[in-house]
Amino acid sequence: MATTSDPLATLAAHALGFVKAGDVVGLGSGRAAGAFVRALAARVRDGLRVRAVATSEQTARLARELGIEIVGLEAEIELTVDGADEVDGRLDLIKGHGGALVRERIVAAASRRQIILVTSEKLVETLGTRGPLPVEVMPFAVPFCRRRLEDLELKPALRLEDERPFVTDNFNVIFDCDTGPIDDPAVLEQKIRAIPGVIDTGLFLGTAHLVVVADGDSIRELVRRAR
């Protein structure tokens, strides 16, 4: 397909091809998802009738400002378009560098399809090799969760914003964990989620149906194989 010089705009334009009139569309968070919100809003202005569920307050604000109707989780979501921080060969993901992982998880689960938009540098052989694994934690449990994450040798660092703990849309905080390459993401996921006070992790295993990758000027689709 034709490309623009901005890979995120190119990805967003490609993703529009999956949206049809009448759909309820899940809107992810972050730069790639933001590009999709802008592209979708342009279609809405041209008369496309869709409603959307947002995965963060920031995305909801952007979508409303641009004229997209935001609704709750009452309706079945046809597809969610989101970004990711890492994508491996099984199309498992690390998400949450933008801090929206919990609502991204819920909206992905409520969607028939999750479509992920990334530039090619996000493709990895092994999850955990590009950046930290975010873990959202209830504030009351912070000291305890820190100890348990340290016991798992995950080197948790409380995420800060303006020198204060970063607070999520759900009024929780995030530990960014330096996992190194993750040998068995499913096992790690289970161990972290078993810690009382942990709300969720940025490991999204088996959720993505399709990953659209921008590589220079070209776009390719990676489709999840049945497991």
**Residue 204 has which token pair?**
């999204």
User: Which of these segments, 15-23, 31-39, 41-49, 211-219, binds ligand A5P (CB under 6 A)?
Assistant: 31-39
Find tokens 């790639």 and name the residue.
32
Query: Alpha-carbon distance 221 to 202, whole Å?
Result: 22
Q: What angle is formed at CA 157 by the lines to CA 152 and CA 162, rounded to 5 degrees?
A: 165
Residue nearest to ligand A5P (CB): 30
- Residue 29 interacting with ligand A5P (CB under 6 A): yes
Q: Which residues are catalytic?
A: 104
Contact string 61-100 vs ligand A5P (x = CB under 6 A) = ---------------------xxxx---------xxxxxx
Per-position DSSP letters for 89-124, written without gaps between them: TT--EE--TTS-HHHHHHHHHTEEEEEEEEEGGGB-
Subset of 182-221 contacting ligand A5P (CB under 6 A): none
Contact string 123-142 vs ligand A5P (x = CB under 6 A) = --------------------
**Residues listed for the chain:** 227
> Which residues, 6 or more positions from 164, have their beta carbon under 8 angstroms from its beta carbon?
none
Nearer to ligand A5P, 20 or 106 (CB): 106
Find tokens 């008369």 and name the residue.
47
The maximal CA–CA distance of the chain, rounded, in angstroms, is 54
Nearer to ligand A5P, 23 or 85 (CB): 85
Query: Alpha-carbon distance 155 to 160, whole Å?
Result: 15
Q: If we measure between CA atoms, which residue out of 170, 137, 171 comes closest to residue 156?
A: 137
| Nearest-approach distance from CB 151 to ligand A5P, in angstroms | 26
- Count of residues binding ligand A5P (CB under 6 A)? 18
| Nearest-approach distance from CB 47 to ligand A5P, in angstroms | 28
Nearer to ligand A5P, 138 or 144 (CB): 138
Decide: helix, strand or coil at residue 190: helix
User: Which of these segments, 25-33, 45-53, 72-80, 172-180, binds ligand A5P (CB under 6 A)?
Assistant: 25-33
User: Which of these segments, 24-32, 139-147, 164-172, 217-225, binds ligand A5P (CB under 6 A)?
Assistant: 24-32
| Nearest-approach distance from CB 202 to ligand A5P, in angstroms | 7
Query: Alpha-carbon distance 207 to 40, whole Å?
Result: 22
Give the residues lining the site for ligand A5P (CB under 6 A). 28-33, 82-85, 95-101, 104
